[in-house]
């Protein structure tokens, strides 16, 4: 019998009760002194840790955005709390609509104690994560040895590779109800809990591996898909004889370039198109950061509190979802990477999420190390993990170092020209009368997205009395998925209207973002527990890029790519996010 212990800590950072949060003045036309990322912020601030198994939440929703629905109470609120481990139940594999068992392999009633999480001693050596394509043979051999040891542990050991993968299943497939709200699953996607929860998942997994090979300096590789050199499967994961290999991948994508606009079934790009695709990929990351630094909700995800169902992922998660879909098989059940039930059974999952965490690391650096949301509900949310000392650990925001960092890499996506300078863009004078058509508002009723929908969307006018800068956010809400067993994607474009309400049929405009969803289930076998979703896309910088600041409305085009989708509302709102 394995004896386990668990922990809880409080935060030293004082929360704020301010409801209307202020936005930092951040220019869309940012410039960096050089194209190489430099740690100009103390790592104490950059590597703020936000909780163990469940990230923090905030009591305020974005201005004008309705609170996520709850099935437990009309008065949800307070920080999301760690689960009651004694009440773990069957989860759901959405792709198969089967009940799956993801619960911990130990008797929590008799063997589990909770201890406060203790950050590493400052004298510990710093773990430096390196890119997977330049990981080095010595590091690779250590990683292979650690994974081999992890896979060789007894199946009921919490450090066993399969049991570690089950952690992701439990918190993404509805194995736990929220404390006080048993009908609302704990879900670490679709909200601002996404970055912190996965940060700690990587943190403990990395330290367990280091413990297994007695190497306190062991550090994970990160899949640097934000650079053209990393926009394909890294070679270290392609050796069939390596413990880093997984048979459940899209083999057609080996040795081909990843397109961030990929939808299931798309053919591989021609090599002649690689430079164009690489450029579009870099532009997308650039836009995610430019808009996200103005409006944290669009980068991190929508704030949620205890009792709320998370519905609105940030752009970081949506890009992450695309890479999950690209990596996993194209046929159901999409195991491993293409299904959140099994995603962590592929070792590339951890390289992928190490880079997701690196994106947050960079975001915090560009953000001056500021706390994204200064509410108690964000700072005090807690999670549970098994640490490298065989303890189950929960934790909240702490400003101390976690003793890991990332190797400095050139950021080719940071200083790039505006994406609106497309060579194919037409001037208004060159448009023929036949190609220009009027566009109308979306309308009051939901619409099935089975063909491209174009809508004329009014822009809100900021109050003259409000001296604080605001950001414009496109909100596509009440998104309903007809078949949650399948991957879902639709793309969104924004264009400057012609003569106030007309659009060029041959030009969708500027690519703004996408809604992407990896199949994942809900607890109690209830596939309808989360019937509505939403998409947040910051468009303040985009509006500048297309020279539409003076327009009263914009043309928004929604293009179906895969999945059965219905859209309820399309609007633009003003956000005034956390400082």
C-alpha distances (whole Å) from 29 to each of 76, 278, 299, 415 are: 39, 21, 18, 9
The dihedrals phi and psi of 494, each to the nearest 5 degrees, come to -130, 135
**Which pLDDT tens digits describe the chain residue by residue (579 residues)?**
222 233 332 222 222 333 333 333 355 765 544 444 433 323 222 222 232 222 222 222 332 323 233 334 445 789 898 898 889 999 988 667 678 999 988 766 655 677 767 788 999 999 999 999 999 999 999 999 999 999 999 999 999 999 999 999 999 999 999 999 999 999 999 999 999 999 999 999 999 999 999 999 999 999 999 999 999 999 999 999 999 999 999 999 999 999 999 999 999 999 999 999 999 999 999 999 999 999 999 999 999 999 999 999 999 999 999 999 999 999 999 999 999 999 999 999 999 999 999 999 999 889 888 888 888 778 887 888 888 776 555 443 433 478 999 999 999 999 887 754 443 455 555 556 668 999 999 999 999 999 999 999 999 987 655 556 789 999 999 999 998 888 999 999 999 999 999 999 999 999 999 999 998 765 554 444 556 899 999 999 999 999 999 999 999 999 999 999 999 999 999 998 644
Predicted pLDDT at 395: 46
Pairing of strands 127-131, 221-222: parallel
Tokens standing for residue 515: 């809604």
Tokens standing for residue 361: 């690391």
Predicted pLDDT at 376: 77
Give the number of C-alpha atoms closer than 13 A to the C-alpha of residue 172, restricted to the C-beta side.
23
DSSP E strand stretches across 375-452: 385-386, 392-394, 397-398, 404-406, 436-438, 447-448
Q: Is the peptide bond before 336 cis (omega within 30 degrees of 0)?
A: yes
- DSSP letters spanning 246-275: -SSS-GGGTTS---TT--TTPPPPPGGGHH
Of residues 157, 248, 320, 361, which has the active-site annotation?
Answer: 320
User: Would you call 353 a catalytic residue per the annotation?
Assistant: yes
Give the helix, strand, coil percentages of the chain, each rounded to 5: 25, 20, 55
Predicted pLDDT at 383: 84
Predicted pLDDT at 50: 30
- Classify 398 as helix, strand or coil: strand
CB 454 within 8 A of CB 557: yes
- Count Cβ atoms within 10 A of the Cβ of residue 55 and give its class: 0-12 exposed, 13-18 middle, 19 or more buried: buried
Could you report the per-residue pLDDT of 154-196, keeping only the tens digit for each? 999 999 999 999 999 999 999 999 999 999 999 999 999 999 9
CA gap 326, 337 in Å, rounded: 9
First-to-last C-alpha distance (Å) of the chain: 48
Of residues 283, 324, 520, 533, which has the active-site annotation?
Answer: 324
Tokens standing for residue 479: 């998104």
CB 313 within 8 A of CB 191: yes
Q: What is the 3-state secondary structure (H, E, C) of 194-224?
A: HHHHHHHHHHHHHHHHHHHCCCCCCCCEECC
User: Would you call 340 a catalytic residue per the annotation?
Assistant: yes
User: Would you call 320 a catalytic residue per the annotation?
Assistant: yes
User: Would you call 89 a catalytic residue per the annotation?
Assistant: no
Of residues 248, 352, 353, 533, which has the active-site annotation?
Answer: 353
Cβ burial 69-81 (10 Å sphere, 16+ → b, else e): ebebeeebeebbb
Could you report the per-residue pLDDT of 395-440, keeping only the tens digit for each? 434 334 789 999 999 999 998 877 544 434 555 555 566 689 999 9
Domains recognised in the chain with CATH numbers? 4-14+36-406 (1.10.1280.10), 428-575 (2.60.120)
CB 324 within 8 A of CB 263: no
CA gap 68, 478 in Å, rounded: 11
The dihedrals phi and psi of 148, each to the nearest 5 degrees, come to -60, -45
Predicted pLDDT at 430: 57
CB 513 within 8 A of CB 334: no
CB 352 within 8 A of CB 320: yes
Q: What is the 3-state secondary structure (H, E, C) of 335-368?
A: CCCCCCCCHHHCCHHHHHHHHHHHHHHHHHHHCC
CA 379 to chain centre: 19
Of residues 168, 248, 361, 533, which has the active-site annotation?
Answer: 168
User: Would you call 198 a catalytic residue per the annotation?
Assistant: yes
Q: Partners of 391 in the beta sheet?
A: 5
Of residues 204, 299, 334, 340, which has the active-site annotation?
Answer: 340
User: Would you call 189 a catalytic residue per the annotation?
Assistant: yes
Of residues 157, 161, 198, 373, which has the active-site annotation?
Answer: 198
CA 479 to chain centre: 18
Of 316, 58, 305, 364, nearest to 181 by C-alpha is 305
Of residues 189, 352, 520, 522, which has the active-site annotation?
Answer: 189
CA gap 528, 525 in Å, rounded: 9
Predicted pLDDT at 527: 42
User: Would you call 283 a catalytic residue per the annotation?
Assistant: no
CA gap 49, 197 in Å, rounded: 10
């Amino acid at each position: 019998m394995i004896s386990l212990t668990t922990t809880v800590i409080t935060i030293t950072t004082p929360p704020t009760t301010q409801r209307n949060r202020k936005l930092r003045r951040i220019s869309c036309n940012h410039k960096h002194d050089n194209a190489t990322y430099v740690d100009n912020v103390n790592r104490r601030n950059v590597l703020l840790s936000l909780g163990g198994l469940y990230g923090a939440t905030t009591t305020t929703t974005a201005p004008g955005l309705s609170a996520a629905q709850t099935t437990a109470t009309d008065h949800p609120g307070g920080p999301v709390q760690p689960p009651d481990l004694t009440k773990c139940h069957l989860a759901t594999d959405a792709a198969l609509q089967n009940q799956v068992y993801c619960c911990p392999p130990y008797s929590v009633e008799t063997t589990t104690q909770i201890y406060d999480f203790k950050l590493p001693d400052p004298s510990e050596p710093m773990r430096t994560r390196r890119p997977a394509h330049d990981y080095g043979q010595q590091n690779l051999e250590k990683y292979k040895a650690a994974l081999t040891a992890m896979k060789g542990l007894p199946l009921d050991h919490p450090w066993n590779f399969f049991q570690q993968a089950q952690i992701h299943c439990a918190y993404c497939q509805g194995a736990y109800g929220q404390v006080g709200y048993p009908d609302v699953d704990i879900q670490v996607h679709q909200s601002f809990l996404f970055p912190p929860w996965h940060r700690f998942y990587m943190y403990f997994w990395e330290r367990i591996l280091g413990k297994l090979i007695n190497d306190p300096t062991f550090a994970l590789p990160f899949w640097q898909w934000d650079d053209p050199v990393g926009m394909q499967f890294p070679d270290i994961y392609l050796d069939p004889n390596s413990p880093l290999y997984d048979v459940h991948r899209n083999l057609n994508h080996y040795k081909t370039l990843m397109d961030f606009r990929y939808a299931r079934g798309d053919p591989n790009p021609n090599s002649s198109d690689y430079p164009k695709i690489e450029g579009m990929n870099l532009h997308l990351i650039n836009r995610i950061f430019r808009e996200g630094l103005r409006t944290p909700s669009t980068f991190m995800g929508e704030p949620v509190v205890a009792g709320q169902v998370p519905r609105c992922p940030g752009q970081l998660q949506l890009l992450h979802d695309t890479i999950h879909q690209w990596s996993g098989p194209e046929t159901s059940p999409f195991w491993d990477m293409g299904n959140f039930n099994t995603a962590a059974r592929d070792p590339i999952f951890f390289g992928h999420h190490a880079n997701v965490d690196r994106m947050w690391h960079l975001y915090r650096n560009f953000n001056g190390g500021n706390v994204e949301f200064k509410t108690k509900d964000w700072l005090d949310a807690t999670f549970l993990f098994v640490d490298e000392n065989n303890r189950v650990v929960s934790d909240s925001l702490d400003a101390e170092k976690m003793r890991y960092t990332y190797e400095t890499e050139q950021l080719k996506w940071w200083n790039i020209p505006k994406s609106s300078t497309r060579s194919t863009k037409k001037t208004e004078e060159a448009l023929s009368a036949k190609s220009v058509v009027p566009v109308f508002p979306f309308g009051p009723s939901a619409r099935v997205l089975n063909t491209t929908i174009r809508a004329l969307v009014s822009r809100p006018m900021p109050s003259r009395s409000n001296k604080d800068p605001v950001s414009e956010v496109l909100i596509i809400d009440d998104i309903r998925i007809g078949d949650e067993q399948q991957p879902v994607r639709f793309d969104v474009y924004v264009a400057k209207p012609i003569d106030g309400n007309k659009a060029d049929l041959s030009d969708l405009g500027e690519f703004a973002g996408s809604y992407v969803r990896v199949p994942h289930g809900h607890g109690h076998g209830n596939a309808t527990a989360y019937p509505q979703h939403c998409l947040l896309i910051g468009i303040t910088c985009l509006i500048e890029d297309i020279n539409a600041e003076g327009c009263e409305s914009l043309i928004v085009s929604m293009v179906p790519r895969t999945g059965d989708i219905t859209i309820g509302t399309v609007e633009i709102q003003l956000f005034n996010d956390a400082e």
